[in-house]
């Protein structure tokens, strides 16, 4: 294979030809589907006359080409591995092509493929070129008319974008449906689904009184698992009307669940295609977390109808234009319909663990990258989640009202167009009158900014001097960084009153919970008229995606944990306190010294456990220790064993000292009401289950019997799965094995539950996790061609820190072997699976060598562009 080439943002040119209208006919067949395409093309006004027509196309068998009805001979076009080139075309013409493709052989799950018995498509980012020859780029937007022909018995349901306009019978048991999508769209939003599907239907009346039919299409056995997705969809539709003034624009909105899918879901116009894991729920099979994830993803894809579809990206460098904005929208939606602080805590915990690690590793890239080899590698936490954090900062910078005006302006001005991140930010600047030039650096500069802060209270002058210093570490290709515009929400909590003090900065009041703007490398903020000494509460709500260091004493942190008015920062103070204690214990473990528990942490927990609170969800978060992955993020060299031992020690000593308190919390939160995925119930369950985790960490008889009872009660999957996890992760195989067996037999028929069964086993801390992973890879419910299975088993094993990082290197080898196989089958999944190995520089020398050796072993293979790009960066 020739060495893949990078594509650069600076090379952007509009397409030579635009497509006004696209007519497609699919004659479906697993081995040889025929695709006829008629494109109505015209020269782009900004491009020169006589430019060659270049169409993307991969893995297509070309049957015929014609221009304006005249068929072309083989010497009249050039066909390469990448596409089709025709010279001397007129400035306005009609192109007809016919190709054959083989959906049944498509294991990459891009383009048209088969999942179970059905046909489905995935076109974002560049899958459409595996369906037909086309200018496969988001700035070519056309209306589509699609005819799908299938076997009436095998594919009774034939779906595509827009509205069905015609259907009929054909000879030989075949039938067809023609769909018309009146909204011009790029081909990455094209979709087709055909198969034996059943639907659940509902209605929604939009704000202007239009009636929309809502359908969720599933395999028959999943008909009972769509209620929550449907309810979530309706909530999201209403919310987008009320919050952003966005109304749905077709008469029909469809969701289809498929079992084989690379990502979570896809926002194809009028026909969203979902990974079944991102749409199907039932109290018996899905956990609270899954219910909430489904709600968030359904909303996310729906919100794309405006932020992504009506206004789309000019090129793939602008991916965060639609993803960052849409993630921000779905996060705020979930916060509004659930508990806002808890949603924020969960999003930030994940972000600070996974995105920070990405930003600090060899694949770090700006939110708007300036080059890539394979765009499929750029559906990252940086583009999505950091992109959302930037939009959140924008909202905080200009305020909600100006932000909403900016959003209205953006949708009005660019409706039906493919635009850039600058276009979006310019609307915000225009609507608010704010200068956002320096702010734009957030999009082009990679890496996580670190802020070193310190402060001093001057009794005599009643002033607090806060000094902030920012620095962004070098990232690959970006050695020097400039100072960013960082808006930070903060408060000063009075040490006497425990209250937020009024903030006066340069003689001006900024409220008690105000925003300060750090723009220089170093800046001093002097707050005046402060009658008491404060403890600062900085970057409230994680108001900027930065690492903020402040020399808090443990007393300061205990104070904030008790008094901060910002729920997020109260939680964060607890995390910081725990991290300080964990640090000492990690050092003790490494030095072979006896571990001693920090009593301040114990006392803080005791207080938490004994305070009567109605916010159980926050309490559950507060009682949760930082994850091993997050602790690792804080260490200069990651010592997986010391981290595991230290965290386990804290858990066990808390459980030992506060056993009765945990027990009381468990018992008051046991719930007999019928399951509902509602905030209050979810909160109580998570609190109860956190308590049970502590109790099970010491494995006394009470805890064991509680866990067993909870498992056997089969009240709902949240409780069952939690209990099964605790039993499986205990030191006793006599608890683990029978429970796993019961569960595995009961759910053998349900692939999504079996995924959970795989994950629980391969993430156990006992040292047989690797052998179990190997063994399970032979299980009949496992398959390397199904991305959910790969993630549930191999992906989950790679998150099992002590076992993946075994010193014999067998964990790394298992992952590398899977990557090598998947490189052939599904390059996108292969490249993603590789991530943990790319972090090799973070570990001790022995592990570095072992990990690097596996990366080199992969490098020696004939690599897909996806894996090639990741390996190159990892080894650079
Ligand atoms: N655009 C999809 C989403 O956010 C993600 C996706 C990308 C799905 C590429 C499939 C392929 O919401
Ligand atoms: Zn998205």
Angle between helices 640-657 and 567-591 (to 10 degrees): 110
Is 714 marked active-site? no
Question: Going by CA atoms, what residue is nearest to atom 11 of ligand 1?
Answer: 124
Which CA distances in Å does 442 have to 332, 615, 736? Answer: 21, 35, 48
Ligand 1 pocket test target in 264, 275, 331, 387 with most atoms within 8 Å of CB: 264
Q: How many CA atoms lie within 13 A of 725 on its CB side?
A: 16
Residue 218 CA to ligand 2 center (angstroms) comes to 22
Query: What secondary structure, in 3-state letters, does 323-337 show?
Result: HHHHHHHHHHHHHHH
Q: From 412, 241, 387, 405, select the one nearest 318 (Cα to Cα).
A: 387
Please state the atom number of ligand 1 nearest to the C-alpha of residue 301: 12
User: Following DSSP, what letter does each residue of 251-317 receive, concatenated?
Assistant: SEEEEEEES--SSSEE--TTEEEEEGGGT---TTT--HHHHHHHHHHHHHHHHTTTBTTTBEESSGG
Q: Which one of 301, 358, 374, 621 is the catalytic residue?
A: 301
Query: CA–CA separation, 654 vs 647, rounded Å?
Result: 11
Question: What pLDDT, on the 0 to 100 scale, is given for residue 704?
Answer: 98
Q: Would you tell me which CATH number, out of the four given (2.60.40.1840, 3.90.1570.10, 3.40.50.300, 1.10.3720.10), belongs to the domain 450-538? A: 2.60.40.1840
Chain CA centroid to CA 74, Å: 45
Q: How much helix, strand and coil, in percent to the nearest 5, is found in the chain?
A: 45, 20, 30
Question: Do residues 203 and 211 touch, judged by C-beta distance below 8 A?
Answer: yes
Q: Whose CA is nearest to atom 1 of ligand 1?
A: 266
CA distance 789 to 321: 31
CATH of span 550-698 = 1.25.50.10
Q: In this structure, which ligand is nearest to the CA of 268? A: 1
DSSP 137-167: STT--EEEEEEEEEETTT--EEEESSEEEEE
**Centre of ligand 1 from the C-alpha of residue 381, in Å:** 13
Encoded tokens for 285: 């099979």
125 CA to centre of ligand 1 in angstroms: 8
Q: Is 431 within 8 Å of 409 (Cβ atoms)? A: yes
Measure the CA angle with vertex 263, ends 317 and 291; round to 5°. Answer: 125
Smallest CA-to-CA distance from 255 within 235, 230, 237 is with: 230
Closest listed ligand to the CA of 111: 1
Question: Taking Cα atoms as reference points, which of 267, 280, 263, 125 lies closest to residue 198?
Answer: 280
Closest C-alpha among 87, 36, 92 to residue 65: 36
How confident is the model at residue 169, as a pLDDT? 98
Structural contact between residues 297 and 363, judged by C-beta atoms closer than 8 angstroms: no
DSSP state of 544: S
Question: On the CB side of 634, how many CA atoms lie within 13 Å of its CA?
Answer: 18
CA distance 844 to 77: 56
Contact, 621 vs 342, CB < 8 A?
yes
Cis peptide before 716 (omega within 30 of 0): no
Judge if pTM exceeds 0.90: yes
Q: Can you tell me whether residue 848 is helix, strand or coil?
A: helix
Of the options 3.20.20.140, 1.10.390.10, 3.40.470.10, 3.20.20.70, the CATH number for the domain spanning 314-443: 1.10.390.10
The two tokens of residue 354 are: 């996974």
What's the token pair of residue 507? 């003689």
Say if residues 427 and 454 touch (Cβ distance below 8 Å).
Answer: no
What is the reported pLDDT for 458?
98
Pocket of ligand 1 (CB under 6 A): 122, 124-125, 262-263, 265-267, 300-301, 323, 379
**What's the pLDDT at 1?**
52
CB atoms within 10 A of CB 93: 18
Q: Whose CA is nearest to atom 8 of ligand 1?
A: 266
* Inter-axis angle of helices 340-350 and 567-591, nearest 10: 40
Residue whose Cα lies nearest atom 9 of ligand 1: it is 124
Q: Closest ligand 1 atom to the C-alpha of 261?
A: 10
How do strand 163-170 and strand 174-185 relate by DSSP bridges? antiparallel
Q: Which ligand has the shortest distance to the CA of 138?
A: 1
Nearest ligand by distance to the CA of 322 = 2
> In angstroms, what is the span from residue 307 Cα to ligand 2's centroid?
9
DSSP for 599-657?
HHHHHHHHHHHHS--S-HHHHHHHTSPPPHHHHHHH-SSB-HHHHHHHHHHHHHHHHHH
- For 70, phi then psi, to 5°, come to -95, 120
* Domains 7-196 and 450-538 agree in fold: yes
What's the gap in Å between 96 CA and the centre of ligand 2? Answer: 32
Residue nearest to atom 6 of ligand 1 (CA): 266
Residue count of the chain, please give it: 876
CATH architecture of 7-196: Sandwich (2.60)
Q: Where are the beta strands (DSSP E) in 459-597?
A: 463-471, 486-494, 504-505, 508-509, 514-518, 522-527, 534-537, 547-549
Domain assignments of the chain as residue spans, ordered by start: 7-196, 314-443, 450-538, 550-698, 748-875
Atom 7, ligand 1: residue with shortest CA distance: 124
What is the 325 CA–ligand 1 centroid distance (Å)?
A: 14
CA distance 571 to 579: 12
CA torsion sign for 572, 573, 576, 582 is negative
Q: Which of 379, 381, 388, 827 most suits a substitution to test ligand 1, by most atoms within 8 Å of the C-beta?
A: 379
**How distant, in Å, are the alpha carbons of 610, 671, 711, 717 from that of 283?**
31, 14, 14, 6
Of 265, 271, 303, the residue with max ligand 1 atoms within 8 A of its CB, to mutate for a pocket test, comes to: 265
Pocket test for ligand 1, best of 123, 187, 267, 305 (most atoms within 8 A of CB): 267
DSSP code for 517: E
Residue whose CA lies nearest to ligand 1 atom number 12: 266
Q: Give the chain's largest Cα–Cα span.
A: 94
Query: Looking at the CA of 125, which ligand is closest?
Result: 1
Spacing, Cα 372 to ligand 2 middle (Å): 19
**Do 144 and 162 touch, CB atoms closer than 8 A?**
yes
| ipTM of the modeled complex | 0.99
The protein residue whose alpha carbon is closest to atom 5 in ligand 1 is: 266
Give per-10-residue mean pLDDT for the chain (876 aa).
Answer: 88 97 98 98 92 97 98 97 97 98 98 97 98 98 99 98 98 98 98 98 98 98 98 99 98 98 98 99 98 98 99 99 99 96 97 98 98 98 99 97 99 98 99 98 98 98 98 98 98 98 97 97 98 98 98 98 96 98 98 97 96 90 98 96 98 98 97 91 97 98 98 97 98 98 98 98 98 98 98 98 98 98 98 98 98 98 98 98
Please report the atom of ligand 1 found closest to the CA of residue 308.
1
Residue with tokens 């900016």: 406
Closest to 145 (Cα-Cα) out of 100, 183, 196: 183
User: For the packed helices 679-697 and 288-303, what is the interaxial angle rounded to 10 degrees?
Assistant: 130
* Residue 414 near residue 391 (C-beta atoms within 8 A): no
Sign of CA dihedral 697, 702, 705, 707: negative
Q: How far apart are CA 785 and CA 705, in angstroms?
A: 39
Determine the Cα–Cα distance for residues 808 and 850; give it in Å rounded to an integer: 8
* CATH number for the segment(s) 748-875: 1.25.50.10
Among candidates 502, 438, 499, 507, which has minimal Cα distance to 470?
438
| Residue 604 in tokens | 């803080």
User: How many CB atoms lie under 10 A from the CB of residue 843?
Assistant: 18
Contact assessment for residue 831 and residue 870, using Cβ atoms and an 8 Å cutoff:
yes
Dihedral of alpha carbons 579, 584, 589, 590, sign: positive
**Helices 319-337 and 227-244, axial angle in degrees (round to 10):** 100
CA 823 to centroid of ligand 1, rounded, Å: 20
């Amino acid at each position: 294979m020739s060495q893949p080439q990078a594509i650069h943002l600076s090379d952007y040119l509009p397409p030579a030809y635009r497509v006004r209208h696209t007519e497609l006919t699919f004659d479906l067949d697993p081995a040889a589907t025929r695709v006829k395409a008629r494109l109505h093309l015209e020269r782009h006004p900004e491009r020169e006359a006589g430019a060659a027509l270049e169409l993307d196309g991969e893995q297509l068998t070309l049957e015929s080409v014609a221009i304006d009805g005249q068929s072309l001979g083989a010497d009249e076009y050039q066909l390469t591995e990448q596409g089709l080139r025709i010279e001397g075309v007129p400035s306005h013409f009609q192109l007809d092509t016919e190709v054959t493709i083989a959906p049944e052989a498509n294991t990459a799950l891009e383009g048209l493929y088969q999942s179970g018995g059905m046909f489905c498509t995935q076109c974002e980012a560049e899958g459409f070129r595996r369906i037909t020859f086309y200018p496969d780029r988001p700035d070519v937007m056309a209306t589509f008319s699609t005819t799908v022909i299938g076997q009436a018995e095998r594919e009774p349901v034939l779906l595509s974008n827009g509205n069905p306009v015609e259907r009929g019978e054909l000879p030989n048991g075949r039938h067809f449906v023609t769909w018309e999508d009146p909204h011009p769209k790029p081909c990455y939003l094209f979709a087709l689904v055909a198969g034996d599907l059943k639907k659940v239907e509902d209605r929604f009346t939009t704000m202007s009184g239009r009636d929309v039919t809502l359908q969720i299409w599933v395999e028959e056995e999943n008909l009972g698992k769509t209620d929550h997705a449907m309810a979530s969809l309706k909530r999201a539709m209403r919310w987008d009307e009320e919050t952003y003034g966005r109304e749905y624009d077709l008469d029909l909105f469809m969701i289809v669940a498929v079992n084989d899918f690379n990502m979570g879901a896809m926002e194809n116009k009028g026909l969203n295609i979902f990974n079944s894991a991102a749409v199907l729920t039932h109290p018996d099979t899905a956990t609270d977390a899954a219910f909430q994830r489904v709600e968030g993803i359904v909303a996310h894809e729906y919100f794309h109808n405006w932020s992504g579809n009506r206004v789309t990206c000019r090129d793939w460098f602008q991916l965060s234009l639609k993803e960052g904005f849409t993630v921000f929208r779905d996060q705020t939606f979930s916060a509004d319909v659930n508990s806002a602080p808890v949603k924020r805590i969960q999003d930030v915990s994940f972000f600070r663990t996974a995105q920070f690690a990405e930003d600090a590793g060899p694949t770090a890239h700006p939110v708007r990258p300036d080059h890539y080899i394979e765009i499929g590698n750029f559906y990252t936490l940086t583009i999505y989640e950091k992109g959302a954090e930037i939009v959140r900062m924008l909202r905080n910078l200009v305020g909600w009202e100006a932000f909403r005006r900016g959003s209205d302006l953006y949708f009005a001005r660019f409706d039906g167009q493919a635009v850039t991140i600058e276009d979006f930010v310019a609307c915000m600047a225009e609507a608010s009158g704010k200068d956002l030039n320096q702010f734009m650096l957030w999009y082009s500069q990679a890496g996580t900014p670190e802020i070193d802060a310190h402060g001093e209270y001057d009794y005599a002058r009643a002033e607090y001097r806060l000094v902030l210093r920012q620095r962004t570490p070098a990232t690959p290709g970006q050695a020097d960084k400039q100072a960013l515009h960082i808006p930070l929400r903060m408060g000063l909590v009075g040490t006497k009153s425990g209250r937020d003090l009024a903030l006066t900065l340069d003689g001006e009041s900024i409220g008690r919970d105000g925003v300060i703007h750090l723009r220089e490398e170093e800046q001093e903020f002097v707050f005046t008229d402060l009658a008491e000494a404060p403890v600062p509460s900085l970057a409230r709500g994680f108001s900027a995606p930065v690492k903020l260091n402040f020399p808090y004493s443990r007393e300061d942190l205990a104070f904030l944990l008790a008094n901060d008015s910002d729920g997020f920062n109260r939680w964060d103070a607890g995390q910081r306190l725990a991290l300080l204690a964990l640090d000492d214990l990690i050092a003790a473990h490494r030095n072979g010294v006896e571990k001693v528990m920090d009593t301040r942490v114990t006392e803080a927990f005791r207080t938490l456990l004994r305070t009567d609170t109605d916010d159980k969800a926050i309490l559950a978060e507060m009682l949760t220790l930082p994850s091993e992955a997050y602790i690792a993020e804080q260490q200069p060299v990651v010592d997986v064993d010391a981290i595991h031992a230290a965290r386990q020690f804290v858990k066990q000593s808390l459980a030992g000292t506060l056993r009765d308190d945990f027990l009381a919390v468990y018992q008051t939160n046991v719930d007999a009401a019928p399951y509902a995925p509602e905030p209050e119930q979810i909160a109580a369950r998570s609190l109860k289950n956190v308590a049970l985790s502590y109790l099970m960490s010491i494995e006394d008889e009470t805890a064991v019997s509680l866990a067993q009872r909870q498992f056997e009660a089969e009240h709902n999957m949240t409780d069952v799965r939690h209990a099964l996890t605790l039993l499986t992760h205990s030191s006793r195989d006599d608890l683990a094995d029978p429970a796993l067996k019961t569960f595995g037999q009961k759910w053998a028929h349900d692939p999504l539950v079996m995924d959970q069964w795989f994950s629980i086993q391969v993430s156990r801390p006992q040292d047989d996790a690797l052998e179990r992973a190997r063994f399970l890879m032979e299980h009949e419910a496992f398959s390397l061609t199904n991305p959910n299975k790969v993630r549930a088993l191999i992906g989950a094993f790679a998150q099992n820190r002590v076992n993946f990082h075994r010193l014999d290197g067998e964990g790394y080898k298992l992952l590398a072997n899977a990557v090598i196989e998947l490189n052939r089958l599904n390059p996108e999944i292969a490249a993603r699976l590789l991530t943990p190995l790319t972090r090799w520089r973070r570990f001790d020398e022995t592990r570095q060598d072992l990990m690097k050796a596996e990366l080199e072993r992969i490098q020696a293979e004939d690599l897909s562009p996806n894996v090639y790009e990741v390996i190159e960066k990892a080894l650079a």
